Amino acid sequence: MLGGLDRSVDETELQLREKLRAVEARFAGAAADDEPDDVRQRIMTCLAERSAEEVIDAKFSLDDPWTRRVLIALAKRYGLRAYRLPRQRRLTVVITGPESFIRDILMPEYNEMAQMLYDYLEVITERLVSDVFRVDEGAEGRSEAHRIDPEEGEEDPSE
């Protein structure tokens, strides 16, 4: 039933993987076609060069689990400590590392990757809605969408 969707998802996922690798390579100062382990090693070298700098605990509050997982995965990939203190909300992630590395490499890389993931999830969601519900929203459908106020049970006229 969704055979065509599966192939396009696979192609889209492969494209996303290539884009994510290219982002990491760019921040490492490497070529996009370099081996992932070589790219990671270049970033680890950059991190080691900054290890004498002030180490900070950078606190982030991330609303959705997908981007939170991306940030934690990047931190762990580079050997940074990612954690949450007792009684902190699940939305909170604290990363310990050199301030300049977090500011200049980790966060810009994370922001690009999180946006790519968001775009990917949006494409997949639109394909599923179109295929499963036989609805083609397009740009017009989104602009005419009405939100339902859960308190009132009525449409929100501001949308």
The structural domains of the chain, with segments of one domain joined by +, span 3-133
Count Cβ atoms within 10 A of the Cβ of residue 22 and give its class: 0-12 exposed, 13-18 middle, 19 or more buried. middle
Q: Give the DSSP H or E segment for 29.
A: none
Residue-wise pLDDT tens digits, 18-67: 999 889 988 888 887 788 888 888 898 889 999 889 999 999 999 889 89
pLDDT band for position 113 (50/70/90)? very high
Quick one: how far is CA 19 from the chain centroid?
A: 12
Please give the Cα distance from 33 to 41 (Å, whole number).
15
Taking Cα atoms as reference points, which of 121, 77, 119 lies closest to residue 95?
Answer: 77
pLDDT greater than 80 at residue 6: no
What is the chain's alpha carbon radius of gyration, rounded to the nearest angstrom?
Answer: 20
Query: For residue 1, what pLDDT band results from cuts at 50, 70 and 90?
Result: very low
The reported pLDDT for the residue numbered 145 is 47
Check: CB of residue 55 under 8 Å from CB of residue 100: no
